[in-house]
């Protein structure tokens, strides 16, 4: 088992011990992911970029990762495969010679 | 190297090839994570829970995971460690006997 | 009719002309609001605070306001009343003598 | 003064009494808007579309509206004007004969 498969196993056990599968449809998992992402973002509100508290970042980021992993599991997606595939696609949208040093979106490059 | 360490390495190489480190402060990474989470959520808008397109879910979820991993790297956080630690804490907030079959928040249990 | 009542009337006419009431349940309206808020936020990504394009801010902000107004209508809420009421409550959570010049949350003041 | 101009006046007074103008740059206001939108969305998490608590919806929606109005003020935008303009543009993207009864995005119609 890879690292993310092991984490997913842990999350599924946690869920099933509480009989929460009934709530975890894909749409609500995506809603939960957005809520946790916003809680992470709140740690940076009204602050300079690096002023967030590391301990709280760790906690909120863990929640984000947990829901992202549960969504991967729901769709039978392999984390390494989809991230690797996306990096390859982004490499085509953002070729080094055009994108270097620029924060523009690919359709504005 | 674990799976997530390998993915982070891939993402850092992609970033550094494009000299994007200058844009990737922690706050903007958290902003980017929120934007990608919302793009994932959009696949479910006006739909029943399981009607999203799997291929597009894979792509948007990959973006979410990419920014989550870059934030972990920015703070020197180990993915397995923070998720495992959070599951343990959630086990205390949501004990099986109280939380079983309930969608209530821990402070309403 | 007040200004927001007039805008709500405009939005309802637009919706009903397209027979979209069937999609506009309160939860999906809240999902749509989050998506539009993220699209507004994207205009600031990787940028300094005041570098967003004003014309695009106007467009995305209009979408945010439209969904916020439709949610108010869905619950029969009066915009002026709920905002005025919230400002009053925030005045109690953030008394001037404690909150002045501080970006802390009320529970940390 | 229109209704939204009056509400903006109220919000600016609240802000200035606390000397918070220094924190309210456009980017952080957009971040705050996203956080409040997510708090509104949380009231619907794991629930059927109409099960959110109306009183809490009113409170969170008021926060969303407050930040939306502050962003409008920051850019000197008139709420009625931008919403009316956007409805007109959406009428072109979603013509009644094509969009009627469909939840598809304009680029898929």
Q: C36 with C63: CB under 8 angstroms? A: yes
Q: What is the CATH number of the domain that holds C73?
A: 1.10.287.1080
- Name the region of B44 (left: φ>0; alpha: ψ -120 to 50; beta: rest): alpha
Tokens of B60: 């948007």
Residue A94 CA, distance from chain mean position = 21
The helix-helix angle for C79-93 and D54-74 (nearest 10°) equals: 90
This prediction has a pTM of 0.97
pLDDT band for position C30 (50/70/90)?
A: very high
d(CA C50, nearest CA chain A) in Å: 14
Tell me how far apart the alpha carbons of residues C10 and C15 are, in angstroms, rounded to a whole number.
9
- Residues C69-97, mean pLDDT to the nearest whole number: 97
Give the Cα-Cα-Cα angle D91, D97, D101 (nearest 5 degrees): 90
| Residue B107, in any domain of the structure | no
How many Cβ atoms are within 10 Å of A54's Cβ, its own excluded? Answer: 14
Neighboring chain A residues of C31 at a CB cutoff of 8 Å = 31
Neighboring chain B residues of C45 at a CB cutoff of 8 Å = 28, 31-32, 35
Neighboring chain A residues of D67 at a CB cutoff of 8 Å = none
The pLDDT of residue B13:
98
CA neighbor of A96 nearest in space, from B24, B15, B7, B28: B15
Neighboring chain D residues of A45 at a CB cutoff of 8 Å = 28, 31-32, 35
**CB–CB of C87 and D11 under 8 A?**
yes
CA neighbor of D71 nearest in space, from A50, C94, C63: C63
- Name the region of C46 (left: φ>0; alpha: ψ -120 to 50; beta: rest): left
CA neighbor of D8 nearest in space, from C65, C60, C37, C106: C65
Tell me how far apart the alpha carbons of residues C91 and C96 are, in angstroms, rounded to a whole number.
8
| Residue A107, in any domain of the structure | no
- ipTM more than 0.90? yes
**CB–CB of A34 and B41 under 8 A?**
yes
CA distances from B75 to A56, B20, B82 (A): 11, 17, 12
Nearest-Cα residue of chain C relative to residue A47:
C103
**CB–CB of B35 and C32 under 8 A?**
no
| Residue C20, in any domain of the structure | yes
Neighboring chain A residues of C49 at a CB cutoff of 8 Å = none
Tell me how far apart the alpha carbons of residues C87 and D54 are, in angstroms, rounded to a whole number.
18
- How many folded domains does chain C comprise? 1
The pLDDT of residue C55:
98
Q: Between C28, C32, C38, which is nearest B34 by CB?
A: C38
Question: Contact partners of D by the rule of 3+ C-beta pairs under 8 A?
Answer: A, B, C
Q: Between B34, B44, B45, which is nearest C41 by CB?
A: B34
Q: D87 with D102: CB under 8 angstroms? A: no
Residues of chain B whose pLDDT is less than 50? none
Mapping DSSP onto H, E and C, the string for A28-83 reads HHHHHHHHHHHHHHHCCCCCCCCCCCHHHHHHHHHHHHHHHHHHHHHCCCCHHHHH
Neighboring chain B residues of A62 at a CB cutoff of 8 Å = 82-83, 85-86
Q: D25 with C50: CB under 8 angstroms? A: yes
Tokens of D84: 């009316």
**CB–CB of D103 and B31 under 8 A?**
no
Q: A109 with A98: CB under 8 angstroms? A: yes
Tokens of C76: 């029969």
**CB–CB of A50 and B100 under 8 A?**
no
d(CA A49, nearest CA chain D) in Å: 11
| Residue B29, in any domain of the structure | yes
Interface test with chain C among B19, B23, B42, B43, by most C beta carbons within 10 Å: B42
CB pairs B-D closer than 8 Å: 8
The helix-helix angle for B54-74 and B3-17 (nearest 10°) equals: 90
Q: A2 with B3: CB under 8 angstroms? A: yes
Tell me how far apart the alpha carbons of residues A58 and B75 are, in angstroms, rounded to a whole number.
8
Question: Contact partners of A by the rule of 3+ C-beta pairs under 8 A?
Answer: B, C, D
- SS3 of residue D41 by DSSP: helix
| Residue A7, in any domain of the structure | yes
pLDDT band for position C70 (50/70/90)?
A: very high
Residue with tokens 């979408």: C63
| Residue C105, in any domain of the structure | no
Chain B positions contacting chain D at CB under 8 Å are 31, 34, 45-47, 103
Q: Between B28, B41, B44, which is nearest C46 by CB?
A: B28
| Residue A81, in any domain of the structure | yes
d(CA A41, nearest CA chain C) in Å: 12
If you ran DSSP here, which 8-state letter would residue B94 be given?
A: S
Nearest-Cα residue of chain D relative to residue A25:
D46
- Residues D37-56, mean pLDDT to the nearest whole number: 97
The pLDDT of residue B79:
98
Task: Give the residue numbers spanning the domain of C59.
Answer: 3-100
| Residue A51, in any domain of the structure | yes
Residues of chain A whose pLDDT is less than 70? none
Neighboring chain C residues of A31 at a CB cutoff of 8 Å = 31
Q: A64 with B75: CB under 8 angstroms? A: no
Tokens of A94: 């953002």
Q: What is the pLDDT of residues A71-97, one digit of tens each?
A: 999 999 999 999 999 999 999 999 999
Tell me how far apart the alpha carbons of residues C81 and D62 are, in angstroms, rounded to a whole number.
9
Q: A33 with C38: CB under 8 angstroms? A: no
CA neighbor of D16 nearest in space, from B38, A16, C96, A101: C96
């Amino acid at each position: 088992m890879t690292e993310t498969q092991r984490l997913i196993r842990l999350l599924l056990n946690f869920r099933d011990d509480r009989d929460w599968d009934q709530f975890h449809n894909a749409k609500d998992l995506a809603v939960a992911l957005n809520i946790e992402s916003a809680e992470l973002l709140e740690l940076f509100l009204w602050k300079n970029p690096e002023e967030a508290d590391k301990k709280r970042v760790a906690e909120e980021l863990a929640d984000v990762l947990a829901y992202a992993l549960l969504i991967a599991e729901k769709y039978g997606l392999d984390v390494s495969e989809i991230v690797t595939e996306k990096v390859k696609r982004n490499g085509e949208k953002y070729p080094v010679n055009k994108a270097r040093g620029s924060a523009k979106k690919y359709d504005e490059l």
